[in-house]
Chain A
Amino acid sequence: MSSLAGLLGQPFLRYAFIAGAVIAAASGLTGYFVVLRSQVFTGDALSHVAFTGALAALAAGANLLIGLYGACIVVALAMAALGYRGQADDTVIGSVFAWILGLGALFLSIYTRSTSNGTSGVNVLFGTIFGLSATQAVTDSVVAACVCAGLILIARPLLFATIDESVASARRVPVRAIGTVFLGLVGVTAAAATQAVGALLLLGLLAAPAGAAQRLTARPFRGLWLSAAIAIFSVWTGLVISYAAPKIPPSFGILAVATGVYLIAIAFTANTNGRRA
């Protein structure tokens, strides 16, 4: 108990725990629908965009947050607008995002050349949750809390639109608008989570808790809350692991716990699935 008090006595850890929990809740909630709607590769794409956006802003001398949020939201909305008529196949997505990542490499080299700040690219890729300042922690928490609130607000119609699109639109659910709002929320989540776990790893925070929750329960709202809970558990446990063993980067701890929970969920449900099928 005293060690826990010591853990929370340090301001940087307090910020990491609070901001991490809110960001994890947002990732778990949006991730549940991302997996349900088979938009995991949209999440993958957004993580590439987050990296390039952040480094473009740094290379241009602007605030990292502007590039991060700007790029993620714009690209998410663009994908919502384009992706509706016919799913783009993975060759197109792969080509576009390999190039976007190449652009990110360019901005990285411009930025690290113009200043002596060589670690920023690595920070964007793999996250700096222990390096959050008070203002960053507050900003990220508020943004992520807004995402949670927005998602809970549209959860029912979104679920309806996801499960049976044509019946939903026949019942006058604005399917298209809800899909667009949802992708915008995913974009905001990706931007917020980039600070915590990094651009390359946020896909894991979107996919793993949601995948585990969908294995454990078939009931949508229970799964939604479970997904958020697993995400928060992963972040907190990962942070504790990383605090106890400083050599382990927090991103790895978080992802390792999330992956472990997913593996346990698969192992746990493999039998019942086999019997049912």
Chain B
Amino acid sequence: MTGSTVTGLSWNVVADLRQLMQFPFMVNALRAGTIVAVAAGALGWFMVLRRQSFAGHTLAIVSFPGAAGAILAGLSAITGYFAASVGAGLVIAAVPRSLGGRARSSESAIIGTVQAFALACGALFVSLYGGFLNGLTGLLFGSFLGISASQVLALLIVAAAALAVLALIARPLFFATVDPDVAAARGVPVRLLGAVFLVLLGCAAAEVSQITGALLVFALLVMPAATAQQITARPVVSFALTIGLGLVTVWLGLTAAYFSIYPVGFFITTFGFAGYVLAGAWRAFLWTRRRPAAAVPA
């Protein structure tokens, strides 16, 4: 898969980095990964805080039929990713809180049906297009090969726009997330902020899909944020930590995938999950140390 000049990983970090950077496709992959990690971290942090993980999961899955449909229609996959995810974000925002006012069980049945149907549509488009099995694996599980400079630019523009909007609404959105009732009473447009947020989340999901594939987007959206929110409860610190963790996860994942024969999606999910487990273990460790101190007054 990699070129013949790749000799493998050594302990010489400088030589390793030079090896990593010697092909333009890898430089583009690292650039794209960096952009995606920042956007996913920022939006994912709010997503975890707002407990909208399953909305994020749905937006990510919808990007698969979007991309497959766009390829079938002769458009670029990137158009399909964004159209489907942003469109789905708008739809979720437009659907009233609980359709028909039934219990939660009915709502989760709807989400499950929508996800399965979206994936089935993807399977249909792939079958209609006929025989791009390698492309299918790429759409589902990600591929960092063949990201062009213009794609990097597109990712950068969308990410910059999404982050700019997020920066504008960050304070009221945080207020509306932490205490929606008080925020609404203070005149914050809670509903509108939620809709804008879902559209931004759709942008982030579409961006991440192009690196990790539609099925593994969730890893980059949820894992760094969940890890950071386990480590600290202070919003600004954990926000910065989320983006840092996302960057480290993506860089490590891309590097590992470059030097091995295994898919990038596996490495990114594994590093993200390892961070999450370590943070959980660290918190449990602190908890057991603090408890006896609290129980026995000195």
Contact = CB atoms under 8 A, between A and B. Distances in A.
Interface of A: 35-38, 40-41, 43-44, 89-92, 94-99, 101-103, 105-106, 108-110, 113, 118-119, 121-122, 125-126, 198, 200-208, 210-211, 214-215, 247-249, 251-252, 254-256, 258-259, 262, 266, 269-270, 273-274, 277
Interface stretch (B98-106, B173-181, B183-191, B195-203): B98-106
Contacts of B269: 98-99, 101-103, 105
Contacts of A113: 261
A105 B266 contact: yes
A277 B215 CA distance: 39
B218 interface: yes
Q: How large is the interface on B (under 10, 10 to 19, 20 to 34, 35 or more residues)?
A: 35 or more
B116, B124, B140 — most chain A CB neighbours (10 Å): B116
Contacts of B252: none
A270 B54 CA distance: 25
Contacts of B106: 35, 211, 214-215
Tell me if A's interface is mostly helix, strand, loop or mixed: helix
Contact of A94 (B121, B124, B222, B267): B222
Given A98-B273, A101-B269, A211-B110, A255 B116 contact: yes
Interface of B: 48, 51, 53-54, 57, 99-102, 104-106, 108-113, 115-117, 119-121, 123-124, 127-128, 133-134, 136-137, 140-142, 213, 215-216, 218-219, 222-223, 226, 261-263, 265-270, 272-273, 276
Given A118-B133, A266-B100, A43 B112 contact: yes
A156 B134 CA distance: 48
B123 A251 contact: yes
Contact of A210 (B109, B213, B272): B109
Contact of B141 (A91, A105, A202, A214): A105
B223 A201 contact: no
Given A118-B133, A122-B133, A99 B127 contact: no
A252 B124 CA distance: 6
Contacts, number: 180
Nearest to A213: B109
A103 B116 CA distance: 21
A95 B223 contact: yes
Contact of A99 (B99, B102, B119, B219): B219
B103 to A, nearest CB: 8
13 contacts: A40-B109, A41-B112, A90-B51, A94-B222, A95-B226, A99-B273, A105-B263, A106-B262, A200-B119, A206-B112, A208-B113, A215-B102, A252-B123
A251 B125 CA distance: 12
B127 A252 contact: yes
Nearest to B253: A102
A65 B109 CA distance: 28
Given A122-B136, A252-B124, 7 more contacts: A35-B105, A40-B108, A44-B112, A44-B115, A90-B51, A101-B269, A274-B100
